[in-house]
Amino acid sequence: MKINHKIILGILLLLAAPFAAHAITFDTDVPKETKVQLMQDLDFVSYIFGNEASALHKQIFGDFSGKVYSDFFTSRVLRVGMNSCGNGKAVACVIPFFDSSKMWLTQNYIKFSHPQIARLMIVFHESRHTESMNGFYTHATCPDPFLDADGNEIKSIWTGSSLSGEPACDNTPFGSYGSSLIMLKNIQKFCQNCTEKVKLDAGFYGDDQFKRIINPGAVDSIKKDLYSLR
């Protein structure tokens, strides 16, 4: 029997691609470019690795590995569509009463240009909102006014819109903002095959999301986990 090595190689490559085996269904209104970009982003994160993870990361995700991230996302988000999400400031959302396993992207996700790691921040944030067993990790209301330590207004890093009085904060490190910043800060600190640009982006966007944690106890636990000297 003659062995076709090209066919065998092709099969092995398919098996090696974590997201190829986990079909995500896209609505027809999702632009082709957005679909391709999202799958490339998810494919990228599925291959990263490190030999260390922070304590909060282990509680939320487990060990630091691309397979862990791949399994986390694909076990939660099964479908992707387009929606206004009821708010012109929204970038993406999950609508639990309609379909708790579906992530909706808005035009803000498409029209604003951000690094790959920032796009991953958005979609992993939304994946946390699919968790019915955790009440879908609803947002907390940001203070009004919402100011940083220097008295400057805190705005969305994605759209530049005001966050004061908006349901766009977290009271827990385990929520959507908390979990995504923990993921990004672990990528910054522990990823062994990421470029310096990816790690810098991860730190920059992770630090920004940290501003949205408004409960003092949650702030302290994240500081001890990720911002203390190691």
Domain ranges of the chain: 25-78+111-227
**Is residue 17 classed as helix, strand or coil in its secondary structure?**
coil
Distance (Å, rounded) from C-alpha 93 to C-alpha 107?
12
Note the pLDDT of residue 86: 87
Q: Which amino acid is at 78?
A: L
Q: What does the pLDDT look like over 127-169, one tens digit per residue? A: 999 999 899 999 999 999 999 999 999 999 999 999 999 999 9
Note the pLDDT of residue 229: 58
> Which two structure tokens, joined as six digits, stand for 45?
């994160």
> Which two structure tokens, joined as six digits, stand for 163?
């966050």
Mean pLDDT (the chain) is 91
What does the CA dihedral 166, 170, 176, 177 come to, rounded to 10 degrees? 90
pLDDT of residue 106 exceeding 60: yes
Note the pLDDT of residue 88: 87
